Amino acid sequence: MTTENLKPDVAAPAPAPRKRGQRLLWIAGPLLVAVVGGWLYLTSGRYVATDNAYVQADRIQIASQVAGRVVEVLAHENQPVKAGDVLYRIDPAPLEITVARAEATLAGVGDALVASRDEFHRVQATLRSSESTLAWNEKELKRQQELRARGLVAQKSLDDAAHSVAEARADRDADAAALAKAKNILGGAVAGTTADIAPYRASQATLAQAQLDLEHAVVRAPVDGIVGKHDLQAGEFLAIGQPAMPLIATRELWIEANFKETDLTHVAVGQHAKLAVDTYPGVKWDARVASISPASGAQYAVLPAQNATGNWVKVVQRIPVRLSIVVPRDAPQLRAGMSAEVEIDTGRQNTPLARLTGSREPVAGDQVLAVTED
C-alpha cells in the first residue's frame, strides 16, 4: 500500500456566488410581490370591465299600411338599402279604383252643393215674396175690419181677408223652413266657397285617404339599413300591419353592457370607455357611458324572479349600461349582436391612492364631455 492511497479525500468548497443569488431571490421575490400587490390595491377600482356586452342597433319591422297582394319584392336578405328605396310593391289596382270612386264622390258632392246654393237663393227670393204678400194681406184685413165696423162691407169680405192672411202666413213659414234647410245643407257657409262646406271637406278627406293608401302600395325603407332575414314572395297577401321583413338600421350603433350591480358604484353617465369586439382582435373603439338602466335585466323578463319565495337565493344582478360608440371613419363594420368587451374608466377618484392624494368624487354639476365622431 502506497502513501498516496492513505491520503484522505478533501471536498471542493461550493461557489459563493450561487448562495448570494439564492439569498437575493428569497428577499427580492416577496418584496416584488408586495410591491405589485400594494400597487394593485392602491389603484384598484378605477376600471370596471365586463365581457357581457353586445353591439345593438335599431331593429325596424317593416309592415304594410294597406292590405293587398304583393306583386314585386325588390329588397332581398342582407341587402343594404337607403332611406326611400323601394322594398316591395302591393297590387295598386284595387286602390286605384278606390281613388277613382272618391274622386267621383267629391265631384258629385261639389255639384250637389252648388245646386244647394242655387236653391238657397231661390228660396230666399220666395221668402221675400211671401213676406210681402203677408204684409199686404194683413193691411187688407185691417181695412176690412174698419169697413165692417162701419157696416160698409159684409162679414164674408172680412172672413175672406182673414183667410188670405192665414194662407200668406203659412206660405211665409214654409219658405222660411225651406231657407233654413238650404242653409243647413250648406253648413252655414252661404257666402263662402264650396271648399269651406263640411260635406265637401269630408269628401276631400276621403279622397286624400284613398290617395295616401295608393302611395302606401309602394313600401319604402324609412331609414338607411340592411334588410334582415325574410321569406316574402310575390303573390303573398298581406294584411294591414302584418310584418313583412326586418330592417336593421345603420344610422346608430351602441353597446349594451350588462355589469354586475357591485361594479356600478362609481359608474356615471359621460365617463370614457374602451371596447373591443371579438370579431376584430386588436381593434379598439372609444365609447362613452350614455345611460344606465333604471332596473336590472331581470325586471324586464316575462317571468320576473319571485324573491319572496321560501327558497330564495341571493344572486348578484346585472344592470344594463348603454354606451355610445365613437366610430372612426376607417373602422371595421360593426353588426348588431356582435360580442364585445367593455372597460369603463371611472377615474382616479375611486382608488385608495386618490384618497391619499386628495382627489375628490365627481359631484352633480360637473361638466361631462359630449360624444363626437372623428
**Chain segment 263-314, per-residue pLDDT in tens:** 898 899 999 999 999 999 989 999 999 999 999 888 888 887 777 777 778 8
Q: Are 228 and 84 within one domain? A: yes
What is the model's pTM? 0.65
**Chain segment 91-133, per-residue pLDDT in tens:** 999 999 999 999 999 988 887 777 777 777 777 787 788 888 8
Q: Are 163 and 227 within one domain? A: no
Q: Are 75 and 121 within one domain? A: no
C-alpha R_g of the chain:
46
Q: Are 87 and 108 within one domain? A: no
Tell me the longest C-alpha to C-alpha distance in the chain: 202
Q: Are 120 and 65 within one domain? A: no
pLDDT score recorded for residue 104: 94
Domain assignment present for 150: yes
**Chain segment 308-362, per-residue pLDDT in tens:** 777 778 888 999 999 999 877 788 888 999 999 999 998 765 555 555 554 444 4
- Look up the domain containing 149 and give its range: 95-212
Domain assignment present for 54: no
- Domain with residue 189: its CATH number is 1.10.287.620
Q: String of b and e for 27-57 (b: at least 16 CB within 10 Å)? A: eeeeeeeeeeeeeeeeeebbbbebebbebbb
Q: Are 88 and 225 within one domain? A: yes
Q: Are 73 and 119 within one domain? A: no
**Chain segment 173-201, per-residue pLDDT in tens:** 887 887 777 777 666 666 667 777 778 88
Q: Are 84 and 229 within one domain? A: yes
Q: Are 81 and 226 within one domain? A: yes
Tell me the H-state helices in the chain: 16-43, 93-149, 155-185, 198-215, 352-357
- Tell me the pLDDT of the chain averaged across its residues: 81
Q: Are 86 and 134 within one domain? A: no
Q: Which of 9, 244, 200, 15 is nearest to 105 (CA)?
A: 200
